[in-house]
Structure 1
Amino acid sequence: MLSFFRRLSKSKGGAAIGILFLVIMLASFAVADVNNFKSFGSGGFNQGVLAKVGKEQVTEAELSQTMQRQLAQLRQQKPDATYADLAPQFEQIVNGLIQAKTLKAYAIAHGMMPPKKAIDAEIVKIPATRGLDGRFSEASYAQFLQQQRLTDAQLRDEVVVLLLQRMLLAPVAANMRMPLGVARPYASMLLEEREGQVAVIPSAAFKAGAAPTDAELQAFYAQNRNRYVVPEQRVLRIARISPETVAGVQPTDQEIAAYYQQNAATYAGGESRVLSRASIADQNQANQVAARAKAGGTFAAAAQPAGFSAADVSLGPQSRADLTTLAGPQVAAAVFAAPAGAVVGPIKSSTGYDVIKVERIDRKPGKSLAEARPEIIAKLAVDKRKSALTDLVAKVEDGISENRTFDEVAQANKLPVTQTPPLVANGQSMAQPTFQLPPEYKTQLLKDAFSMQAGDDPLVETLANDAGYAVLALGQVTPATPAPLAQIRDRVAADFLAKRAEDGAKAAATAVLAKVTRGMPLAQAIKEQGITGAPAPAPLKVRRIQLAQLQGQVPAPLQMLFSLTPGKSRMVAAPQGQGFFIVQLAKTTPGDALGQPGLITQTQSDLSRQTGEEIAVQFLDAAQKELGVSRNEAAIAEARKRLLVGG
């Protein structure tokens, strides 16, 4: 039966959202007593200030930025998300910001602010701030700040709060321990067992009926407009700065000649010799090696009696300069005057008496400037194009910083401009379903496009896989709005019929519940109601601890089973309009955890953690009482309206 509920409880909604940096932890503590806040009108607050904690202020700009980043995170899980999806978290986010200001104000008041060195140490831990060598890079840091739409000061402020969480909240929350005697009753509660039965009245049993009239569809559409909202759509204007933009850049004749002169040794050609060498301190022993080598056979065999292995005597290819450095000019002169196969020495060297055999002579012909010209051009062209591309990007960024428009920058630098059709956050176009955004635009560029605000300066983004750069600006932004009825008539008609069937199922379930409440058996009540396709009631026998296996996704019928008293019944809706459940509890069997010490220990640990969090909340509560916290409720309401509704 549990597997049945698991399947039934799956929904299409996105996962829960976390709030970036400080708010992600503080929001979990944002259940502090709201009565401790003093509420005022606009008096006593500067414009744009939503709350005060001591001398610290929460501004609408901070709230707006937090909401933007929150929406960007949500869109990674739900691409068509809008600010309206953040409405349930709005008060939590506001309280989280107030909690952050509380920590900072408390630390300032008591001389506990983290030093700059500690803040720097946290920043360099952020992976996105590191360069290709794995070390902190100013360029990578600047790009990270741009991507997160943060200033250095704002990031440092958030890192301060993160450090204060560790200093002040973590020790408070981590040192609580719940006694075993308190944990045991809670552990026993987890072993409580409940028995009953559940029946489902399916909506599918009530799908028959006449087609909806135009008037019915109009009324249904008007009542459910929010169900048909088309996500916000944005037109992207992109000016591409690709390697092809500078493909015509070529080195000059002067640059080619200069490179040839600077690398004369490379193009002059030369000779190298593959040598075998034995350097021996005793001259007599060196004479013996030379005699054996000149008599024939391999040099390694000749040198073996003197204690040399084949690896010891193999010198490999050597230029005259290499050998001069190794053995001295006298040895190099003699060796490079000898023919291939000759044995030179013994001859005095810097390491003793050398015996050297010329195994092979390799001669590399030189190249004239004309002969080397093609490879020099290829080499210099790559470097010059990289430099030209970098210079072009810098020129574009300078133009943007000088408040030039996207069109002015693109025209001045002769950049090709592409304009997309209206896109939703996942890159799809509802107006042109076959449209495909180029792969190099689908990651960071698309993310930034839906983080920008109308009127923002163009952004210059680095494209992945050495694809160059792109200048991004927003075109027309179409807010989320309901689609016209004419365009979605079939969908609205299907939804109307589904709602009518659901209403029929609800009426039938209500009638069945009334009969059960009067004492009629559940199976008989369903049979008397004459519901086609309704399955027979299924037995339920569940322990409270089994609900934990569902990882928070506890189906409504099981939740209902554990809220009833024996002999009682209740109706609860099935997910996604599938119908209605009728749950009946027959009996409850109390649990006893004495025989399961491990469960008691786990319960003790869970309760200790929860108590620690509560103590941390109380710490923040006390800090707020000491510092004084005030909220500008009128400004918060206006900010909510502007951010979530667009008013």
Structure 2
Amino acid sequence: MAEERRKKKSNAVVWAVLALLILALGGFGIGSFGGSLSSVAEVGDREITVEDYGRALQNEQARLAQQTGQNLTMAQLQTFGIDRAVMERLLAEQALAWEAGQMGLSVGDAEVAERIRATPAFGGLDGGFDRDGYAFALRNAGLSEAEYEARVRDDVATELLQAAVLGGTESPEARVDALVAWLAETRDATLATVTVADLPAGITAPTEADLQAFYEENLTRFETPERREITYAWITPDLLVDAIEPDETALRELYEARADEYRQPARVLAERLAFPDAAAAEAARAAIAAGETDFDALVAERGLTLDDVDQGEIAADDVDAPVAEALFGLEDPGVVGPVETLLGPTLFRVYAILDPTEVPFEEARDDLAAEFAADAARRRIDAARDEIDDLLAGGATLEELAAETDLQLGSIGFDETVIDGIAGYDEFRAAALDVTEGDFPELETLSDGGLFALRLDGVTPPATPPLADIRDAVEAAWQADTLRRRLSERAEELAAAAELPGTPETLAGLGRDARLEGTPPALLDALFEAEPEAVFAVEGGADAAYVVRLDAVNEADLSDPETAELREALIASQRQEIATDLFSLYGRAVQARAGFTVDQQAVQAVQAQLLGQ
């Protein structure tokens, strides 16, 4: 079904939509940093304000969170140098804006106004520019219209400067041709696989002396990991829910609060097509009735798609009374109207009629009870946090903690391979690896809202068990290493004799990006480094090696459409690389000419506030 687009009459909903404009502005709305500091840096006569720097850091946090799925803290941004990269970008932007000002580059009010009107964030519910929404978004972002419009003017001027600097950037034809020739070159080859069947003595068994020697040469390979004996006390919502008795009154209140989920009024799925005047709407309706056209054709004639006119689910309360009367007067799907709306005379096509539905309390009770218990468990854990902290601060042991609170006592022999129970939580694993003997237990939080504290009772360092205890594992490792070595040696012998065992496979037109299933990447690399007619060996895995003969080197076919497409892509890529390097050098030169200063005290003040968020 097409994406839902409902028209709501409620002012609250309209303003909620307008509030979302702030998000579309790329993170506008950072709080005031207070104090007497107003800027973090200056480039020429231009300032980078503390709000600009803080907003840029927060935007970068949001961008990285969207890319990686992880919310990086301010401390992590500092560790990775992202805070410095943000500052360098802001300095470069202001340097270019300064240069544009020095050169007298600017644009008029008409261009600024056009840019603002074209900004999707300032679009109203009807798709046009929303003057009130524009003012509302800037006000909540802490910007005046004059400030924002000055920024737009600077951005456009900087774009003009960038276009002037990079306008003549071209990629050298000779370089592109050389790259195309190299990338599009292909190889024909013959590939033979060397297996156990090609070994004269087949699989051999190790002697006790072989195993003992192999064991002694690879002691660390058979080490057991460090084992940490840990006592812990923990509680999670899941551990508490069974002890929580649902309150019937609260469950019914929760059911009523979710009435929109459990009770759905009659609804229709409809599409809407507005007309400039009543005559056009009536004519269209008559043409549909006469079978001369249909709703789909009318939509197409207007240059629209069905997604453009789809309104999703509509309940009677969602629309004005005349529209509701027309839509819900149908017994079967069909076209109704024209109906007068804010957009003008309108035809609606109802393509589905949904009956009202209701899930009785009795059917929803189990789900509500589970939700109620989980929420109550989380609140109970949160309420106990201060008491548990106080007990730990007072010197209580984990055993005493378990006796006096909801926390449950447990112990675990922990290493990095253990993932059961509490060891399945990343927070516990990190704490268990970090704790040292003698550390006092500290209260930590789990990802599901649970709490835990732990104590390290002892550490068993990594150790290699006696050979007798791990003989099977040692023999399996010896077999794998020995077989790999023997197959590789046999492949080298066959290659030296220019022999290809078994049933060789003919491979034609192999490109540098080819994928030969089951073979190592080194095989293709070696193939493109070899001379024609060369026969060479390539080591494979534990059960195969390869003998390869290079039969032909095929030069790039410049008339091939794929090669031509590759050439165009390389031209664009090279042009972009040259442009990036050129503009980076230009920006640094401008920055040096303008002169700049960075107020580290102000930078640290901004970062300190964001560290606490």
TM bin (shorter chain):
0.3 to 0.5
Q: Which has the larger radius of gyration?
A: 1
TM-score scaled by structure 2? 0.45
TM-score scaled by structure 1? 0.42
